[in-house]
Structure 1
């Protein structure tokens, strides 16, 4: 995964975009595209649909340029926008089963090999086992763990993306970690992962 755009630089680009600089918005899209694509693929498995949703999100931002507000965190704001767009589109397309914007959507977690320095076969096995365990959790718990571990969002940012209160985020994380601990023997890869989840 490429190095993420520093928060201060992102804020500067956001202000330039709000002032009418389309190039600044293009730089934000370029910087955050990998994160947004990976995030979108967790919400819906169709690559072209996710790519179109990201493009539509930035087109919408350009149209709103003159009225858009300041934001505390650009990346989490973009993730909220993309999630809302994807779920609205899925809801619009589905007549028999609507994907409501609050709770009813599927979510999957997949760790790519570049997340960790994996050299031993047993480490790959442990990572895949962890992936399976996380994917056995309820969707909201999977989403929270993904946001905390893969996207490295703060609890405040997770609360924004998931539209939850901060205390609800804490409670949901503790519930998720308790479930994972119950099904994992001490001394395994989970002990390396938990500091990332709790930090």
Structure 2
């Protein structure tokens, strides 16, 4: 067994026991390789940063399982790839429903009940958007209604891309909470939550 693999095994066992320094060693050993892999996969440096952070955060939360990992590199890259793919699926669902709610288009499984539900949902969403704090509202509308990328929003508003992301996260969380208070207007059109953006 090479020295690097031996160290890695030790770090995994130590991290599984809650050793933050050992976990930090694992993070620094793989963060750039993982970032490069995800950036090539997604074509987005911002997404790559998010995936790296999310994956290592999940690893730390589930650190006890690290003791059972044999090939950490393969395990880590597979985990990151799955995370990125799930992110693409979520964004696709979000885009489909955003367009349906904004334009009033009905899904293929439309019924009279779903038309009513969609109308109610659109009204609830519109009201919730209007109640967002001014900066969150502006960023949300630029992103979702006008399709402006985060980098361009940041340039227009003279803030960082990270700040744009944080405002979007907060806005989406608020909208999800508002919509969750009206389950009867959503249950028909969601079916098993195939296209709703905040699930």
For the aligned pair, the TM-score class normalised by the smaller chain equals: 0.3 to 0.5
Higher Rg: 2
- Please give the TM-score of this superposition, normalised by the length of structure 2: 0.43
More helix by share: 2
Whose RCO is larger (CA < 8 A, sep 6+)?
2
